[in-house]
């Protein structure tokens, strides 16, 4: 995608676990390594800061003088902080180019994020996060609701060099004989929680108390921004019992209260998030 006028190319990681979109900017005080230029606010004629009087300010923002700033802490203890602003977002589709003005997002100036760990020695091309979570007015789904219709779909490929499309609105479809569907559990959380009944390993259902999948009373969160899945420690013991390794599943302290279906377990499956209907559909697909 591209941000600004003239457009500057930016690669953002899809994150269904958060609503805020942000990008590392030129002049950052705390920066992560990036294989392409940082977004340069000064070079964009359509960039402008978010002032305190805007309608976004009532949640998740702080005032700094007359401008608003954001501060965001992720589950893995990474963080980003900086001003809030507006600019034009340009999306490229299979048929056309769509430029959308006045999209609110974070100008990342203090970033303690390490995307390099995900690329195994390759240069990091990711410059920020595209927040696809629900509920908050700064989220892309809410800001662009006339375009997104609060629904989107993606299919994560097994290799980071491969390309796959993110679909919004009417373009977000799923089909085939193996489509499954489950309710998205209600509530104002950023996460998309679903009910998990059981886990099978090599076709064999593991002996896990189903109540463990409802840690915190919320179910399992489907989070594309988490590279690995997380399961509370008591449930994780079932994997240890079968001596399975390299499954990209991590044990979590029960007190943390979250079971997460991460990106590694979403590979080669198409997911359709229909937020308006509170429905999550999924189907195997060669991404």
Active site annotation includes 274: no
Place of tokens 């990711």: 126
Candidates 15, 87, 190, 274; catalytic one? 15
Strand, helix or coil for residue 16: coil
Helices (H) and strands (E) in the chain, counts: 3, 23
Which one-letter DSSP state was computed for residue 119? G
Active site annotation includes 15: yes
Place of tokens 């559990």: 185
Candidates 87, 190, 223, 274; catalytic one? 223
42 φ/ψ sector (left φ>0, alpha ψ -120 to 50, else beta): alpha
175 burial type by CB count under 10 A (0-12 exposed, 13-18 middle, 19+ buried) = exposed
Place of tokens 């589950």: 75
Dihedral angle sign, alpha carbons of residues 82, 165, 224, 184: positive
Q: Cα–Cα distance between 153 and 109 in angstroms, integer?
A: 30
Contacts of 64 (CB under 8 A, 6+ apart): 83
Pairing of β 12-15 and β 128-131: parallel
Q: Which residues are catalytic?
A: 15, 223
């Amino acid at each position: 995608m591209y941000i600004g006028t003239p457009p500057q190319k930016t690669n953002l990681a899809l994150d269904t676990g958060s609503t805020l979109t942000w990008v590392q900017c030129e002049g950052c005080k705390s920066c992560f390594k990036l294989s392409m230029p940082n977004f340069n606010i000064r070079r964009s004629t359509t960039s402008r800061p978010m002032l305190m009087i805007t309608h976004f300010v009532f949640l998740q923002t702080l005032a700094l003088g007359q401008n608003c700033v954001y501060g965001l802490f992720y589950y893995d203890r990474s963080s980003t902080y900086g001003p809030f602003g507006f600019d034009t977002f340009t999306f490229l589709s299979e048929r056309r180019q769509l430029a959308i003005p006045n999209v609110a997002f974070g100008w990342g100036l203090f970033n303690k994020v390490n995307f390099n760990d995900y690329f195994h020695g390759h240069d990091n091309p990711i410059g920020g996060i595209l927040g696809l979570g629900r509920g908050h007015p700064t989220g892309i789904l809410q800001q662009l609701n006339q375009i997104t219709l609060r629904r989107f779909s993606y299919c994560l490929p097994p290799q980071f060099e491969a390309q796959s499309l993110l679909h919004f609105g009417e373009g977000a479809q799923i089909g085939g004989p193996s489509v499954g569907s489950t309710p998205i559990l209600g509530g104002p959380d950023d996460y998309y929680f679903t009910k998990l009944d059981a886990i099978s390993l090599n076709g064999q259902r593991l002996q896990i108390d189903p109540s463990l999948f409802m840690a915190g009373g919320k179910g399992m969160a489907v989070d594309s921004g988490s590279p690995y899945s997380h399961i509370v420690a008591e449930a994780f013991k079932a994997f240890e019992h079968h001596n399975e390794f390299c499954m990209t599943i991590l044990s979590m302290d029960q007190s943390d209260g979250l079971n997460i279906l991460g990106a590694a377990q979403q590979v080669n499956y198409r997911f359709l998030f229909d937020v308006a209907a509170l429905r999550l559909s999924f189907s195997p697909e060669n991404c």
